[in-house]
Copies of this chain bind each other. A is one copy, B any other.
Amino acid sequence: MLGCGVVGSQVARLLREQADELAARIGAPLELVGVAVRRPNRHPDVPADLLTTDAASLVARDDVDIVVEVIGGIEPVRTLLLDALHGGKSVVSANKALLAEDGATLHDAAAAAHVDLYYEAAVAGAIPLLRPLRESLAGDRITRVTGIVNGTTNFILSRMDATGSGFDEALAEATALGYAEADPTADIDGFDAASKAAILGGLAFHTRVTAGDVYREGIGDVTAADIASAKAMGCTIKLLAICERASGAVSARVYPAMLPRSHPLAAVGDAFNAVFVEADAAGSLMFYGRGAGGAPSASAVLGDVVAVARNRRNGSRGTGESAYAALPILPMGDVATRYHVALDVADRPGVLAGVAGAFAEQQVSIQTVRQEGRGDAATLVIVTHSAADAALAKTVDRLTGMDFIRGVASVMRVEGMPGE
C-alpha cells in the first residue's frame, strides 16, 4: 500500500479485521506486506516492520501482487504506478486527479502487462458506480450522466438552501464541521468534480476524457439571491457534473445549476453524493451514498482489491479500458443548455420588448417571463428554452449593456426540467 492517511488507515484496518471473510471470498488470503509512508512514526496502528519510506523499492518487491495507492496527486504517484504495472502488478487506486489527467497512460500500461487497473474509490467514494457503468450497462446506450460528486460543495449549497445564508457563511460552517478543507479551492472551484466528470464521461461513452476536456465553473459566485430565485421557480441549486452524448460528441461539464425539486438529485442533501444515469433501454437510474470519508472510500478500495485478487487467482484480468468510440469533445459554446436570468430593470414601457429583442437576436427562445416588484424594485425573471450556450452567453452580455437594465441579478443554467 502506498500512503496511509484517512483512507489507507481504514484499508489497513479492514484488511486486518476482515481477513477471514476476505480470504473466504477470494479463495486465498490477502496479506498486507508493506506500507510506504513519509513518516513511519505517525502510524502506530500499522506493524512497524511493514512500514517503509522507500515506495519505489516496495513496488518492486517480488512478493507484491497488488499495489494499492491512496496517496493522491500526480507525481511521484504516476511513476510508481507505472513501475508497478510494468512489473506485472495490478493496481487499485483512489486517485481521481491522476486518472483524470493521465488515465490513458496507466490503462495502456495495464493492458500491455495484462494486469488490472481498478479505481472505484476515485469517484463518489463508496457508491458502486464505475463497475455498473463499465459492466452492468455494457449492453445499453448511456445518453447522460448527471452527478452530485463533491460533498463539500453539496453541503454548502444545501445549507444555503436551508437557511438562506450566503456563500461565505455556509463555507465557514462547512469548514468548522470538517466538511471543507483548510484550502477548499479544489472543491469550491469544481476541480474535484471535473476530475470525476472526466472519469465518468470516459466510462459512459467509451472515449478518453481528461480533466482538461471538462468545462468548469465553481460555486464561489452563487449568492443567496440565486438560491431565492431558484426557490421561486421550484428549484434548488446543485453543483452538477454532467456528461452527455450530443451531436456525435461527448459534452463534459461542471457548474452550479438550478434543478427542479421534483428531480431525484434535488433531495440529495448534506455531504452525500448521487449519480443519475439515463440510458436508452434502462431508463433512469440513480446511485446514492457517501462520496468521501475514510471508511466509505476504503470499502470501495477493498471491493477492487477482492476483484483483482479473484482475477489473479483465475489467471485472468477484469474488463479493461473501453475507449473504442473515441468521440470528439463538444465545445461548451455548442452545448445545448437553458438559462435562468434575473434582471433588475427600469419599470417603463418598452423594457420587455427590448429584453425579448436581445434574446431574439441570438435565436434564443424564451419559455417564461415573470416580473417581480414594481418601479425601482422591478425584476424581470426569464427562463429560456434550450439553446447553444454561446448564444445564451452573448445574450446576457448584450443585456448587460442595455440602458434600461439596472443590473443582472442572477444568471444560472437550468438542468433536469421536464419537457425538453
A288–B288 CB distance below 8 A: yes
Q: Is A235 interfacial (CB-CB < 8 Å)?
A: no
Q: Give, as a whole number of angstroms, the nearest-CB distance from A404 to chain B.
A: 44
Contact pattern, A 275-288, Cβ under 8 Å of B = 1, otherwise 0: 00001111111111
Chain B residues near A283: list those with CB within 8 A: 126, 289-290, 293, 295-296
Q: Is A301 interfacial (CB-CB < 8 Å)?
A: yes
Q: Give, as a whole number of angstroms, the nearest-CB distance from A11 to chain B.
A: 9
Q: Is A10 interfacial (CB-CB < 8 Å)?
A: yes
Residue in B24, B140, B300 whose beta carbon sits within 8 Å of that of A303 in the complex: B140
Q: Is A57 interfacial (CB-CB < 8 Å)?
A: no
Q: Is A226 interfacial (CB-CB < 8 Å)?
A: no
Say which one of A32-40, A310-318, A374-382 lies at the interface with B: A310-318
- CB contact list, A294-339 vs B, under 8 A: 295-296, 298-307, 310-311, 314-317, 319, 322, 324-325
Q: Give, as a whole number of angstroms, the nearest-CB distance from A332 to chain B.
A: 27
B10–A301 CB distance below 8 A: no
Q: Is A136 interfacial (CB-CB < 8 Å)?
A: yes
B307–A138 CB distance below 8 A: yes
A303–B206 CB distance below 8 A: no
Q: Is A18 interfacial (CB-CB < 8 Å)?
A: yes
Q: Give, as a whole number of angstroms, the nearest-CB distance from A302 to chain B.
A: 2
Q: Is A394 interfacial (CB-CB < 8 Å)?
A: no
Chain B residues near A322: list those with CB within 8 A: 24-25
Say which one of A127-135, A146-154, A345-353 lies at the interface with B: A127-135
Q: Is A54 interfacial (CB-CB < 8 Å)?
A: no
Q: Is A14 interfacial (CB-CB < 8 Å)?
A: yes
**Contact (A140, B302) CB under 8 Å given A282-B290, A285-B128:** yes
Q: Is A22 interfacial (CB-CB < 8 Å)?
A: yes
Q: Is A137 interfacial (CB-CB < 8 Å)?
A: yes
Residue in B21, B131, B298 whose beta carbon sits within 8 Å of that of A132 in the complex: B131
Chain B residues near A285: list those with CB within 8 A: 126-128, 287-290
B137–A281 CB distance below 8 A: no
Chain B residues near A415: list those with CB within 8 A: none
Q: Give, as a whole number of angstroms, the nearest-CB distance from A21 to chain B.
A: 7
A135–B303 CB distance below 8 A: yes
Q: Is A186 interfacial (CB-CB < 8 Å)?
A: no
Residue in B135, B206, B296, B314 whose beta carbon sits within 8 Å of that of A131 in the complex: B135
Chain B residues near A14: list those with CB within 8 A: 139-140, 281
**Contact (A138, B281) CB under 8 Å given A286-B288, A315-B316:** no
Q: Give, as a whole number of angstroms, the nearest-CB distance from A146 to chain B.
A: 13
Give the residue among A283, A290, A305 with the most B Cβ atoms within 10 A: A283
Chain B residues near A137: list those with CB within 8 A: 128, 299, 303
Q: Is A48 interfacial (CB-CB < 8 Å)?
A: no
Q: Give, as a whole number of angstroms, the nearest-CB distance from A124 to chain B.
A: 10
Chain B residues near A287: list those with CB within 8 A: 285-288
Please list 18 pairs of residues, one from A and one from B, whose beta carbons are closer than 8 Å in the complex, sorted by A's number: A10-B281, A24-B322, A126-B281, A126-B283, A128-B136, A128-B137, A128-B285, A131-B135, A135-B303, A138-B302, A139-B299, A280-B295, A281-B302, A283-B295, A284-B290, A285-B290, A310-B319, A311-B316
Closest 6 CB pairs of A and B: A139-B302, A128-B136, A316-B316, A128-B132, A126-B282, A281-B299
